[in-house]
Amino acid sequence: MNQESTEPLADARRWELFLQGDERAFEQLYHQYYHLLFNYGYRLSADKELIREGIQHLFVKLWTNRGGLSATPHVKQYLFKAFRHHMLSLLEQHRRETFVPEDEVSLVQDSREEKIIRLETAWQNSRKVQEMLSTLTPRQKEAIHLRFFGNLSYEEIASVMDMQVGGTYKLIYRALERLRESTPIFFMIGCWIGL
């Protein structure tokens, strides 16, 4: 049995142990999914502190409410969906709290550290791939991220994004078609070299 097929079983077992109050199993789930959730959160918001806060709140809420939760064989899907709903709620709350009337808006300078991080990130990511992804709608970007960076199945993506599985196939298909149409030469080269 390969590792990919046993991982959901191990996660389901950790989840059951967590539901029974096993702190070690809970910590393992937290450490296993922190970076995946953080990367996904970055697709929803560029505010890294808000994303960290969202992950912390989600796991505190899970621990606090574990008595009312049930076992699931789809831990990854469950966490992504719960995190998405939690982040959307946090973003709405943050938007209401930080609303500034247009006449009071002022330009804010980024700290030097934030600029360095942004430059390093831009360097690591291919400019052309970013350019291609910018042609997608926000939902297409989210679906592409979940499929290719989060490694979720179409069924899991449908659950996370609250849509039908058929709609997920269409959304990703249209996103890939749009990428191919916007930059056909780069897309063909990318497919050829395995990007």
- One-character DSSP codes across 144-155: HIIIIIS---HH
Where does residue 183 fall: left (phi above 0), alpha (psi -120 to 50 degrees), or beta otherwise?
Answer: beta
Are the beta carbons of 166 and 56 closer than 8 angstroms?
Answer: no
Each residue's pLDDT tens digit in the chain (195 positions)? 434 444 667 888 999 999 998 999 999 999 999 999 998 888 888 888 888 888 988 998 999 888 888 888 889 999 999 998 888 888 887 777 665 455 444 444 456 677 666 666 655 554 666 677 778 888 888 888 888 777 788 888 888 888 998 898 898 888 888 877 776 554 444 444 344
Q: What angle do CA 179, 181, 183 make, to 5 degrees?
A: 70
Residue 74 in tokens = 């789809």
